[in-house]
Structure 1
Amino acid sequence: MSSAQTPTAADLDTLSLQLGRPVRDVVAISARCVCGNPLVAATAPRLSNGIPFPTTFYLTHPVVTAAVSRIEADGEMNRMNDRLAADPELAAAHRRAHEAYLAARAEIGARAGTGPVPEIDGISAGGMPERVKCLHVLVGHALAAGPGSNPLGDETLQLIAPWWTAERCSCAGAWDIAAEVPSRDLSRHVRRQNQGYSVLNRDSEPGRDGA
């Protein structure tokens, strides 16, 4: 994470266009397309509205997120969970990815100045350390931290190769670069702001409604 880049104003605008909503509390750009556009945004563990946010590495690029969604729809998470239950070595690697995720979140939190976030203490994302519940999270971590950091994220990157690889740019037409940058945030985190909040359910897919 030490090599992650502080986002520029242009990065933030691009992220908002990629997501279709205003981006918020981005601390760093953790992975970029070969052309320089953001792929993964590192988000503070506590949002500026006070809500804890466990999805540190948020996958933003529409082509990558769509490709990962295809793999999820094909049932790959169930197959990975079966393998985790049967393969102690894979399960141990998955737990190490969980521990690395927590360590990276602590570093991002320190950069953001958020301080401790006890609501998500020990909770990573994506179903780690025991299951797989969101491949977007695992891919975001794999892209941010590099090969070997999240083995199942690495596997998913191989599976999406027919639609996206890190070696080629897939940005053309992926979002409307001429569109007005979104200014109104309708995500569920904002909707819940005045309703009280408890930490995101670990069984949900936090990464798709955050950053």
Structure 2
Amino acid sequence: MGGFSNEKEIIKLQLGRDIENDFTVVRRCSWGYPQCIKSSLITNGKPFPTLFWLTCPLLLKEISKLEEKGMIKTIESRLENDENFMKAYVKAHKETKDLKEQLLASLSISEWQRNAIIERGIGGIKDLKRVKCLHLQLANYMGGIKNPIGELIWKIIELQECPPNDIICDRLVNKFEK
């Protein structure tokens, strides 16, 4: 990971912007860079319902390609027509909600803050028939949730990490260090 010891700086380079939330890295690529983080649910006193974030530039790019090809509509159609797939997706929302409740149990927060986080599903989704975006579904899966959409996306993306001769995060770090 180059000379970087500050993961917040690496993630800032990966995302191209600051991240205010506290977080922990839940998955790394073979090259040691963060691929997915678990974010705090309260930032600056405000509820933040997205628990898992995808940070890997390669994965973000690969998933954007799928979204451009209409994969969200394809998956939403599957949710409508495949009862088992829908049940597994609803279960992933519940598993995410349960994890959020565990994380919030030790925090001193107001009831409205708690409800703003708990009453929504993966990534703050209100309507469970909607996917919202594939990035958060994959992040949810990479964070350890049995998310059938995230698992499907993981299996169909062309590249799951950078090849050894073209590590995107090495380029980002080297450019920043110059």
Q: Equivalent residue for 1:31?
A: 27
Rounded Cα–Cα distance in structure 1 between residues aligned with 2:26 and 2:43 = 18
Rounded Cα–Cα distance in structure 2 between residues aligned with 1:61 and 1:166 = 8
Cα displacement string for residues 16-71 of structure 1 (whole angstroms, at most 9, x for unaligned residues): 111122222233111111222101111111112x2221111010111101110110
Structural RMSD (CA): 2.6
Give the secondary-structure state (helix, strand or coil) at the position aligned to 2:90.
Answer: helix
Alpha-carbon offset, residue 119 of structure 1: 1.8
Equivalent runs, 1:163-178 vs 2, <5 Å:
164-165=159-160, 172-174=167-169, 175-178=171-174
Aligned residues: 168
Equivalent runs, 1:10-159 vs 2, <5 Å:
10-48=6-44, 50-109=45-104, 113=107, 115=109, 117-126=114-123, 127=125, 129-145=128-144, 149-159=146-156
Q: Under a length normalisation based on structure 2, what TM-score does the superposition of the two structures give?
A: 0.81
Residue type matched to 1:117 in 2?
Answer: R
Does the 8 Å contact 1:45/1:114 carry over to 2?
A: no
Unaligned segments of structure 2, at least 5 residues: none
Unaligned segments of structure 1, at least 5 residues: 1-7, 182-211
Residue type matched to 2:17 in 1?
Answer: R
Rounded Cα–Cα distance in structure 1 between residues aligned with 2:166 and 2:26 = 17
Rounded Cα–Cα distance in structure 2 between residues aligned with 1:92 and 1:132 = 14
Identity %: 24
Q: Under a length normalisation based on structure 1, what TM-score does the superposition of the two structures give?
A: 0.70
- Is the helix fraction higher in 1 or 2? 2
Does the 8 Å contact 1:34/1:169 carry over to 2?
A: no
Residue type matched to 1:74 in 2?
Answer: K
